[in-house]
Structure 1
Amino acid sequence: MPATARTASLPWSLLLLEPQKLLFSLSSFIAAAITLSIAFEFSLPRPWWALLTVYVTAQPMAGAFRPKVLYRLGGILTGATVSILVVPNLQHAPELLVLCMAAWTGLCIYLAVLDRTPRAFLFQMAALSSAVISFPYLDDPADVFTTTISRVEEMAVAIVSVTVVHSLLQPWSVTPVIQDRAHAFLAHASRWTREALGQRHTRLEYEHRRMLAADVAELGMMAIHLPSNPRPASAGRRMVLGVQKQLATILPLASAAANRLDMLSALAPLDPELARLVEATRTWLSQPASVQYASGTDLAQRCRQLAERQETSPSWRDLLRASLCVRMAEFVEAQVEACGLVQQLGSPVSTSGDWPQRQGEQAFPLARDHGLALLAGLATATAIMLYCAVWILLAWPSGSATAAFAALITCSFAAQDDPAPVLSRYLGATLLTFPLAALYLFAVLPRVDGCGMLIVSLAPALLGIGYVQAMPAWSARALPMFSCLIVALGFLDRFIADFATFINVGLAQVGGIIATIAVAKLFRSVNVSWTARRMIRGNWIEIGQMASMARPFRPVHWTSMAVDRLGQTAARMAIAEGSDALHAADGLADLRIGRNVIAIRRSLPALPAPVQAALRDVLEGIAQLFQTRGRAGEWLPPPASLLANIDVAMASMSAAAHAEPAHPALLALVGMRCNLFPFAAVPRMAGDA
């Protein structure tokens, strides 16, 4: 039975226990047992908070949480320091104190959303720790120093325990996940390109095309966690980053080849030699990755040889044929390189050759949006101020716990466009866990004596929910289940089973979640197309800046940034309305145009002066078009003057002495014309006479 089927429904997944998931749950439980033992042994005041931190920190993939340990500890210390500095000094001005803590939390969330690396956990933990430490003690800040030290000790013990246990038992490595994702991308890219080269269509399903970009972006986020991946045979970080860069290159090359074939087939049937080459490429794409790696070099050489056997004064059809052959060659070469690197992912780094050293360890750049991060920070700060205002106005004794719990949930889901649906599932999982918490508190724990018996009695619940946490389809429900159970039990130095306290704590948790949902619906439920438009707009602005001759030429990592931005829009585009105007903005076409701009600007210094002048007119036209799109925030059709400039530049290059049909700048002009003006009339070239 395939893994996807096993995780499709919870009952079957629980009946068919998987060793890796069971080992993860057992590792988390051992860490929880160690944490509880230390907490009771050293009389830490809130053992339940240490226990909750264990399951908040644990991650199913071993390599996914070790790089975050120092960031989490640093964030806890930062939040604790802010609490100690702010709370005692503003204890006589509660309104100003709430404003300062809300502003601090909002700033931390802004930085966490903006960063998008494991370093974001430093800012997130700083926000969480300051909220959890400060809000329950705003009424009595005199003991805030002792309380802060206790919270830091509890969280630090939990984080260190879960890190050590998971490092020793190694639930599973991130490397197989990366291998599966890379193999899936290669298979998707091969199937998509094979289909696109087989018939006249390049505008495939939006979700299908952008799924490839999403795979690349996700692979890069996984690669960030590799430095602490412990297995000797695991993939090196530099190698994975190299694989990601190759995969990012495949995406625009494959789409460009399909686009040229579509344009060429619209003019006339393919000549026999080119038709055989296209069919050979399709056959090659149907082979396994190992066969592609072995035979791809010869196929790429055939493509380049055909591209070079064109007339000295090429016609428009000749240029399209040369562009198709060169893009197919570049795609095949990138696919071969990627296949070779993916095969090396599972081999020891020491036997993987000198490729990583030659490529360097420069990280795959991430696209960041200050506007979205600012919105998340402002929403978090506003929500916290509203929680505290309601708590203070109602004079609710448990209002401080509600504010702290609501702040914790708000910070946890601040990075999502619309956290309300996730929070609704969070509320449902919390309500389902209350009967289990009541059973433990009033039926099981009164008969427990000692820390050892407590750990044994908790084993069934913690192991069961821990196994759910290891299941990707259900992991989001595990955290509220842990929170409800552990917070409701409220382990202290002595057992207290008070029904009124249990109900009050439960109401505080539910109230915090409901308040968070209400604030999310008011402040965060933005249309996903709004977020997608912002990302597309950022891409337009960068293309315009690259094309502008008045700006420095800085193309380094632009393709990677564009692919990352395209990957971020993938999920949003999938749920946006089909008639939405943002679908008019073809992200892959923009990606190809940006690469063409880079090719022209790199070739510009070596070309004759008349050709340079014609190419500068094209670049300025591209700059104006994309800057106008960026300012307007919507897709605008290119002007006819830009088409005329492109045709003049192509004619100028074709007429130049020693003109090469496969010259990068000339092929870039062909690509621009195909992408910007796909339905324009065939241009008149010297070779058409």
Structure 2
Amino acid sequence: MPHATAAALRSRRPFTVEFGKLSFSLSTFLAAALVLVISFAASLPRPWWALLTVYVTAQPMAGAFRPKVIYRFAGIAAGAFVTILVAPNLQNSPLLLVLCLAIWIGLCIYLAVLDRTPRAFLFQMAAFSSAVICFPYLDDPSNIFTTTVSRVEEMTVAILCVTIAHRIVRPVDIREVIHERALSFLSDACRWTAEAFGTHHTRLEYEHRRKLAVDVTELGMMAVNLRYDPRFARATRDTVRELQHRLAVLLSIASAAANRLEQLRALNAVDAETRTLVSSLIASLKSPQDVAETLDEDLVSRCRALAAQHLCSAEWTSLLAANLLERTAEFIETLHIARGLVRAFAEGDLDRPTQMHVASGVDEFPLARDHGVALLAGAAMTTAIMIYCAAWILLAWPNGAATAAFAALVTCSFAAQDDPAPAIGQYLIATLSTFPLAALYLFVILPRVDGAGMLIVTLAPALLWMGYIQADPARAAHALPMLSCFIVAMGFLDRFQADFAVFVNTGLAQLGGIVTTLVVTKLFRSANSRWTASRIVRQNWADLAQLADPAQPLAANAWTARAVDRLGQVAARMALASADDKLHAADGLSDLRVGRNIIRARQGLAQHDALTRLAIEAALGKVSALFQAQLAAHHPLPGNARLLDALDRAIDIVAAQQVRRADPTLMALVGMRCNLFPHTYSRGAAA
């Protein structure tokens, strides 16, 4: 399940009502009221499933609803199809039927965790609908077709009502959301770069890079929604894609320039002209956007002219200074284009910026995937379902069939987390705390209610309160268990029934599903965030080893997208790790810069003679070997003397061919040396 950015939560004042949260709660309650009216009027068998689906599918941070509606309907259809296909044919073999359903739902969870785009809603809904439709009727699947049609009708009505209510009460223009996120990124990037060009580069890298990397990934996830809205032409989607690629590159270029400046300061080799230029850049980054854009062309010209002066010498400090100035010029140019794309996107003037587009070769912004973690989540789900059903059958528990359905809901809700156990524990506590409220309504308040209208008015205080909690990021994790406990305990049917035995059995079924899910999660998915971060880092090393191998195909933009995505994932997890954790040495920004330099070096191979190509390929081969060694060792390793010699030799050969211009290949080799040997400030022959 796609998941949203972990933004800083604002402190809440007591008794303060926020309009955005209230509008979400109100629109969801209107959808719930509409669902109840339709369910009672159409005599749907289980209105409470429809009501629960309303709150399961309503998500305050989800953005546009159109793609999610499509995916959810497709998921319901897939779950219903599998249920009708499997249940009647295996009704005489209950164990085989349970096994097939468990494997199917586990496969859906695997795909949902693997696919971190809005498509994950399809797989989640397929798993949830299969569990809801089939498990309560495993002991008598003869009427499974009628049951399937009823559940599909209930869930379809719920999704349509949620979509209509939210589009009317709180319409969301995805273009405005994308525009605001892009402006926020540019503002944060300018502030971070200005500070990084000061004297706080290392500290600020760890402080800001998580938000910057995650914003780039989320921009692409929001852009996926554009394809489902006919108001937006392909030019709009192309602009967003190009903007996303520009912002991803911007992050690595700014980091590289700040890193070069830091090394020059360590060598006490920042000349007066460079110092003045850096001061001008910092002042420009702190200026309003319209003022800064007028200064961009002059700053780029000054950078390139000063870089050409430094390239007259092959000394290491001169090459470092030239690299700093070239990266700074690239940063300013990329920032200028990104600002133009953002402005054009907001104004709808898409013809002009398309002339600035560079063919990226990648329509989508591919995200990093971890098959191991996804497989673990699917296996945990399959095992949990088999345990639920075994306990239900062995104990002959009348309401035990509902346990599997509740467990599927819990597992789907937290499948994307590294360690869902703490969240499931909170789910259990929130469920227990809601039973008294459910009992109060069921046995004290509802017996005095007559008619659907009075029922809706009576439910309003509880549902509006829980909906408001659902819209609060700090308390959203408590809302779904409260709502599911409350709605399921009510057991809304076409006529009122208050049976204490049924109430207790239903409650025990919910608790049984949550507790069993918690136990299985502890057994299968007790990995902490550091373990997951380590896996992501190692995947990046594997990609870098392949990227540096000249014999392998080069997919530059696809690699950059995955690297930026992983940077955000790792930084978010390492924010929870201790300061002395060794994994902090696996600097994601450094790996991103190395990868970009590898791409530049490989792209420039064809422009050099055979001797130069051999030297560059030899250096790249040793870079590939270093990342392969890190992959085998499971931790970062320093570069060895042979790699340093190979890089120095390639730098000397390419530098000897300079004609007062910055060769991208030379700048890439210098950048690789700076990142792989950050504390080696001199070179033997050219020091």
Q: Which moved more, 1:402-411 or 1:62-71?
A: 62-71
**Matched residues in 2 for 1:497 and 1:126: separation?**
32
1:173-252 pair list within 5 angstroms: 173-199=173-199, 201-202=201-202, 204=204, 206-228=206-228, 236-252=236-252
Report the CA distance shift for 1:282/1:579 in structure 2 as closer, same or farther (over 3 A). Answer: same
What's 1:481 paired with?
A: 482
What's 2:598 paired with?
A: 597
Whether the aligned pair in 1 keeps the contact of 2:638 and 2:677 (CA below 8 Å) is no
Deviation for aligned residue 1:7: 4.9
Deviation for aligned residue 1:311: 4.7
Q: Does 1:259 align with 2:297?
A: no
| 1:224 aligned counterpart, secondary structure | helix
**Matched residues in 1 for 2:601 and 2:10: separation?**
49
What's 2:4 paired with?
A: none
What's 2:491 paired with?
A: 490
* CA-to-aligned-CA distance 1:589-627 (integer Å, 9 cap, x gap): 111111111111111111122211111110111111112
TM-score (norm 2): 0.93
TM-score (norm 1): 0.93
| 2:556 aligned counterpart, secondary structure | coil
Whether the aligned pair in 2 keeps the contact of 1:20 and 1:172 (CA below 8 Å) is no
Deviation for aligned residue 1:524: 1.0
Q: Does 1:524 align with 2:525?
A: yes
**Matched residues in 1 for 2:228 and 2:478: separation?**
27
**Matched residues in 1 for 2:63 and 2:112: separation?**
20
Structure 2 regions of 5+ residues with no counterpart?
1-6
Deviation for aligned residue 1:175: 4.3
Q: Does 1:85 align with 2:85?
A: yes
Deviation for aligned residue 1:356: 9.2
* CA-to-aligned-CA distance 1:494-546 (integer Å, 9 cap, x gap): 11011221122112212221221222122111021211111111111111112
Q: Which moved more, 1:542-551 or 1:319-328?
A: 542-551
What's 2:3 paired with?
A: none
**Matched residues in 1 for 2:89 and 2:389: separation?**
19
What's 1:287 paired with?
A: 287
**Matched residues in 1 for 2:649 and 2:588: separation?**
27
Q: Does 1:8 align with 2:11?
A: yes
**Matched residues in 2 for 1:171 and 1:556: separation?**
34
Whether the aligned pair in 2 keeps the contact of 1:61 and 1:172 (CA below 8 Å) is no
The residue type equivalent to 1:181 in the other structure is R
| 2:682 aligned counterpart, secondary structure | coil
What's 2:629 paired with?
A: 628
Deviation for aligned residue 1:59: 2.5
**Matched residues in 2 for 1:177 and 1:19: separation?**
18
Whether the aligned pair in 1 keeps the contact of 2:311 and 2:662 (CA below 8 Å) is no
The residue type equivalent to 1:284 in the other structure is S
**Matched residues in 2 for 1:345 and 1:682: separation?**
46
What's 1:332 paired with?
A: 332
Report the CA distance shift for 1:673/1:179 in structure 2 as closer, same or farther (over 3 A). Answer: same
**Matched residues in 2 for 1:400 and 1:407: separation?**
12
Report the CA distance shift for 1:483/1:537 in structure 2 as closer, same or farther (over 3 A). Answer: same
Whether the aligned pair in 2 keeps the contact of 1:304 and 1:325 (CA below 8 Å) is yes
**Matched residues in 1 for 2:248 and 2:665: separation?**
21
Whether the aligned pair in 2 keeps the contact of 1:232 and 1:348 (CA below 8 Å) is no
What's 1:166 paired with?
A: 166
| 1:366 aligned counterpart, secondary structure | coil
Count of residues in Structure 1 that have an aligned counterpart in Structure 2 = 680
What's 1:25 paired with?
A: 25
**Matched residues in 1 for 2:226 and 2:466: separation?**
27
What's 1:385 paired with?
A: 386
The residue type equivalent to 2:190 in the other structure is S
Deviation for aligned residue 1:43: 0.9
| 1:557 aligned counterpart, secondary structure | helix
**Matched residues in 1 for 2:207 and 2:489: separation?**
43
| 2:390 aligned counterpart, secondary structure | helix
The residue type equivalent to 1:105 in the other structure is I
What's 1:581 paired with?
A: 582
Deviation for aligned residue 1:257: 0.8
* CA-to-aligned-CA distance 1:335-374 (integer Å, 9 cap, x gap): 2222333344543466875469876892211111211211
* CA-to-aligned-CA distance 1:624-681 (integer Å, 9 cap, x gap): 111232244322222210100111111111223x544521111111111111112225
* CA-to-aligned-CA distance 1:540-588 (integer Å, 9 cap, x gap): 1111112112222232322111101111112211112333222121111
1:355-374 pair list within 5 angstroms: 362-374=363-375
Whether the aligned pair in 2 keeps the contact of 1:614 and 1:648 (CA below 8 Å) is yes
What's 1:151 paired with?
A: 151
Report the CA distance shift for 1:358/1:456 in structure 2 as closer, same or farther (over 3 A). Answer: farther
Q: Which moved more, 1:239-248 or 1:476-485?
A: 239-248
Whether the aligned pair in 2 keeps the contact of 1:59 and 1:65 (CA below 8 Å) is no
Report the CA distance shift for 1:479/1:347 in structure 2 as closer, same or farther (over 3 A). Answer: farther
**Matched residues in 1 for 2:679 and 2:572: separation?**
30
Structure 1 regions of 5+ residues with no counterpart?
none
Report the CA distance shift for 1:34/1:104 in structure 2 as closer, same or farther (over 3 A). Answer: same
Report the CA distance shift for 1:61/1:589 in structure 2 as closer, same or farther (over 3 A). Answer: closer
What's 1:543 paired with?
A: 544
Deviation for aligned residue 1:95: 1.8
Whether the aligned pair in 1 keeps the contact of 2:469 and 2:476 (CA below 8 Å) is yes
Pairwise CA RMSD of aligned residues? 2.5
Report the CA distance shift for 1:488/1:540 in structure 2 as closer, same or farther (over 3 A). Answer: same
The residue type equivalent to 1:379 in the other structure is A
**Matched residues in 2 for 1:379 and 1:83: separation?**
21
- Quote the sequence identity (%): 58
Whether the aligned pair in 2 keeps the contact of 1:316 and 1:685 (CA below 8 Å) is no
